[in-house]
């Protein structure tokens, strides 16, 4: 009786292979979520279906380096690399350091940016504060 030889591949290699296919969309929306600890870049079509995404942590940055502008730029380039599109709207959310760097990388990639909108959620009155401390 012959046993089948199992091929062990790392999870990372298998995932990169599935992302290499280029998707062609004429117009898309690029969502940049820039926090203080990480930057997430997601490319969707106009209906909101995710085409490609990347983050600073996904690009190999760990710890405090995930929040840097260079990590955000790398994440943006990584997300755009698998997509071929002519025009894009950019929606930026968050107050992190990667906001401007990600936008700069998107502009440099050759995609014509038609709209840049800040969609950071702002509280109108916020949550109720905790009760006053009694000592």
Domain positions in the chain = 25-118
Q: Which of 60, 56, 118, 64 is nearest to 90 (CA)?
A: 118
Distance CA 135, CA 21 (A): 63
- Structure confidence at residue 17 (pLDDT): 46
pLDDT, one tens digit per residue, over 5-53 is 655 555 555 554 445 678 888 899 999 999 999 999 999 999 999 999 9
Measured over the CA atoms of residue 68, residue 79, residue 30 and residue 84, the dihedral's sign is: positive
Q: Which CATH superfamily is domain 25-118 in?
A: Ribosomal protein S11/S14 (3.30.420.80)
Beta bridge partners of 115: 89
**Dist. CA 58–CA 92, nearest whole Å:** 19
pLDDT in tens, 65-99: 999 999 999 999 999 998 989 999 999 999 999 99
């Amino acid at each position: 009786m012959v046993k089948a030889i199992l091929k062990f591949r790392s999870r990372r290699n298998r995932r990169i292979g599935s992302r290499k296919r280029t998707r062609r969309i004429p117009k898309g929306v690029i969502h940049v979520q820039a926090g203080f600890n990480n930057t997430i870049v997601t490319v969707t079509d106009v209906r909101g279906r995710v085409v490609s995404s990347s983050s600073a942590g996904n690009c190999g940055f760990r710890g405090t380096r995930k929040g840097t502008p260079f990590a955000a730029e790398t994440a943006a380039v990584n997300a755009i690399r698998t997509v071929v599109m002519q025009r894009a709207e950019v929606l930026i959310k968050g107050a992190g350091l990667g906001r401007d760097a990600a936008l700069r990388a998107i502009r440099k990639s050759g995609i014509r940016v038609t709209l840049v909108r800040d969609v950071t959620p702002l509280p109108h009155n916020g949550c109720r504060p905790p009760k006053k401390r009694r000592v």
